[in-house]
Structure 1
Amino acid sequence: MNKFVQNYIQDHKGEILQCWVDKMKENADERVINVVSDQVFIRTSNEFIEVLISNITDSNEEFQSKLGDFAEKIIRLGWPLTFVNEGMKLFNIVVTEGMVREGVMTKENQLEIVLDFDEWITPLNNEIINVYTSTWERTVSLQRIALQELSAPLIPVFDGITVMPLIGTIDTERAKQIMENLLSGAVRHRSEVVLIDITGVPVVDTMVAHHIIQAAEAVRLVGAKCMLVGIRPEIAQTIVNLGINLDEIITKNTLKKGVEAALQITNKKIIEVTEE
């Protein structure tokens, strides 16, 4: 980078920051500004300027580390990529206007400085976008995995008895996750009876019923019995109207009755103990 530009950025960091923050607030979407307080916005903006300047002063490894940390932070804050990209453009404008105002950039050296500054800022902008997108993709991937694990948990409630509570719509992808969790969980917990609780499933159509029947059959093949509980009257009517055959599956209308039936199947019972 041109020494005049480098020295100007380092010597006028505070002025650049203040001007940059003001311009960002003028141009930013209100939804972005409103998600964080002014204090957090200014602190994060300061970190952004520090990251940009670190590309001048730090080694490449140090710069990459700071850039990665900053990308993770702004993703957590909910700053979209368009906002970050706009920040880079405004940084360019603020520095250029400042150098003209201070007399650092003149008619004689303008072309040289602009070309040199652009040669520095363009790959930096590309690097920030690449790190942001890769960090975002990794974050989304981890969130997807976490949601998949939470979407179909298998919970041991008694020795040999496990429950899978289902909430929300069941699509093909989720049905696959349900099947995998049922099979692996039934083996891991040594389940004798597995209860699938559909109390929180709003609609049971032919596809959903088909997936449940498949899951029940798979559980039976690994040596456990499958019980479908939480069948509300409207769900029962839908199943009858669709002609879905659930003869091979034990059904109960509530989880409580399902647990009671599971205890009988496993030769267990709950005894109330009174103090003498």
Structure 2
Amino acid sequence: MNDENRPQGDVDEDQLLPQLVAHLREHRAKLRDEWASRIREAHLLEAMSAQEMAAETTSVYDNYVEVLETGSVEALQHYARDLSERIIPRGVETHEVVGIVLLLRDVLARSLFEKYQNDFALLNRVLDAYEPAANRIANTVAVSFVEERERVIRQQQDAIRELSTPVLPVRERLLILPIIGSLDGERARQLTEQLLNGIRTHRAKVVVIDITGAPDVDQTVANHLVQTVDASRLMGASVIITGLSPKIAQTLVTIGVDLSKMNTIGDLQGGLEEAERLLGYHVSTEEGITSS
């Protein structure tokens, strides 16, 4: 007797899921192709080539069915992270991942309906076994993808910040921190962290912070600069600030920043000369810079 014609009592409860999985594996090629067609109709994964999409949909299908069989959420999370690492660089968005998983859930549910439509009671039992597992898979994949995407975004932001606030060793015990672009509270905090790490790593005694490329600073950032100077002193390094624009200088005076804590020099060249003086170097036009 065919499965679809069996009466309800002929299928034990613990055999429902294995029977369901066997059906999905038996019709793998047909169901995967139907799912891929639905993905194209919905205009999802268009950033991927046809070959890439075929490979990924096959992989997702097989893992989906395996998780239905084993119920291993841990294995699914691991797979979802691997999938995310592969497809995020290709420009796949979060809504696309959620969309394709929901489409697969629906394609498989329709197939189960067609298989068991002649036994409504058995169909209900099969769907009761399938739907919670399918929904758990969809939720797990979506959450894992979002977490991986956020991790990638954080890495990119950190890389951009590091490039925009490089701590540069100029000579022994001397660092330069050129600041380019707008400063906000978050970037100012990162600037302090990078600078203090640089002071410790290079055993710096003098730091030149050049803000020629900073268009403006507000009170919060100005106060943070003062804190950075204080923290650097605690680490044993003197700080020279160069490149103050008239606008920023006016702002510092207006908001009442304690300028006695800041050693300011007009330009970077003057700041470097002052730094070399503090380090015991002197400039000779004929012989260059020498230590005293």
Sort the Cα spacing of 1:165 and 1:38 in 2 relative to 1 into closer, same or farther, 3 A: farther
**By how many angstroms is 1:138 displaced?**
4.5
Which whole-Å deviations, capped at 9, do the CAs of 1:217-248 have from their partners, x for residues lacking one?
33234332211122234434544555655344
Which whole-Å deviations, capped at 9, do the CAs of 1:72-102 have from their partners, x for residues lacking one?
33444443443322222211222233455xx
111, 118, 126: which one pairs with 1:107?
A: 118
Counterpart CA distance in 1 for 2:93 and 2:207 is 44
Deviates more, 1:9-18 or 1:156-165: 9-18
Counterpart CA distance in 1 for 2:75 and 2:234 is 55
For the pair 1:67 / 2:86, whether they are aligned, the reply is no
Counterpart CA distance in 1 for 2:204 and 2:189 is 20
For the pair 1:11 / 2:26, whether they are aligned, the reply is yes
Counterpart CA distance in 2 for 1:38 and 1:254 is 57
Structure 2 equivalent of residue 25 of structure 1 = 40
Counterpart CA distance in 2 for 1:254 and 1:105 is 81
Deviates more, 1:44-53 or 1:236-245: 236-245
Write the letter of the residue equivalent to 2:210. Answer: D
Counterpart CA distance in 2 for 1:44 and 1:63 is 15
Structure 1 equivalent of residue 224 of structure 2 = 211
Structure 2 equivalent of residue 224 of structure 1 = 237
Write the letter of the residue equivalent to 1:249. Answer: M
Structure of higher CA gyration radius: 2
For the pair 1:55 / 2:67, whether they are aligned, the reply is yes
Counterpart CA distance in 2 for 1:76 and 1:175 is 30
Structure 1 equivalent of residue 105 of structure 2 = 92
Sort the Cα spacing of 1:138 and 1:204 in 2 relative to 1 into closer, same or farther, 3 A: closer
Write the letter of the residue equivalent to 1:107. Answer: N
For the pair 1:132 / 2:145, whether they are aligned, the reply is yes
Q: Secondary structure at the match of 2:241?
A: strand
Q: Is the 8 Å Cα contact of residues 160 and 193 (structure 1) preserved in structure 2?
A: yes
**By how many angstroms is 1:130 displaced?**
4.0
Write the letter of the residue equivalent to 1:18. Answer: D
Q: Is the 8 Å Cα contact of residues 23 and 90 (structure 1) preserved in structure 2?
A: yes
Counterpart CA distance in 1 for 2:220 and 2:75 is 53
**By how many angstroms is 1:216 displaced?**
1.7
Q: Secondary structure at the match of 2:259?
A: coil
Structure 1 equivalent of residue 8 of structure 2 = none
Which whole-Å deviations, capped at 9, do the CAs of 1:142-165 have from their partners, x for residues lacking one?
556555655544221111110112
Q: Is the 8 Å Cα contact of residues 205 and 238 (structure 2) preserved in structure 1?
A: yes
Q: Is the 8 Å Cα contact of residues 163 and 197 (structure 1) preserved in structure 2?
A: yes
Structure 2 equivalent of residue 43 of structure 1 = 55
Q: Secondary structure at the match of 1:163?
A: strand
| Structure 1: segments with no counterpart, 5+ residues | none
What TM-score do the two structures reach when normalised by structure 1?
0.78
Counterpart CA distance in 1 for 2:269 and 2:77 is 55
Counterpart CA distance in 2 for 1:217 and 1:122 is 54
Sort the Cα spacing of 1:116 and 1:244 in 2 relative to 1 into closer, same or farther, 3 A: closer
Counterpart CA distance in 2 for 1:51 and 1:272 is 68
Q: Secondary structure at the match of 1:5?
A: helix
Which whole-Å deviations, capped at 9, do the CAs of 1:106-126 have from their partners, x for residues lacking one?
231433332232243123223
Q: Is the 8 Å Cα contact of residues 151 and 174 (structure 1) preserved in structure 2?
A: no
Kindly report the root-mean-square deviation, in angstroms, between the aligned alpha carbons of the 2 structures.
3.3
| Structure 2: segments with no counterpart, 5+ residues | 1-15
Write the letter of the residue equivalent to 1:250. Answer: N
Write the letter of the residue equivalent to 1:85. Answer: V
Counterpart CA distance in 1 for 2:219 and 2:199 is 25
Identical-residue share of aligned pairs (%): 27
Counterpart CA distance in 2 for 1:142 and 1:78 is 16
Write the letter of the residue equivalent to 2:110. Answer: E
Counterpart CA distance in 2 for 1:205 and 1:96 is 58
Counterpart CA distance in 2 for 1:179 and 1:224 is 13
Q: Is the 8 Å Cα contact of residues 183 and 219 (structure 1) preserved in structure 2?
A: yes
Q: Is the 8 Å Cα contact of residues 47 and 70 (structure 1) preserved in structure 2?
A: no
What TM-score do the two structures reach when normalised by structure 2?
0.74
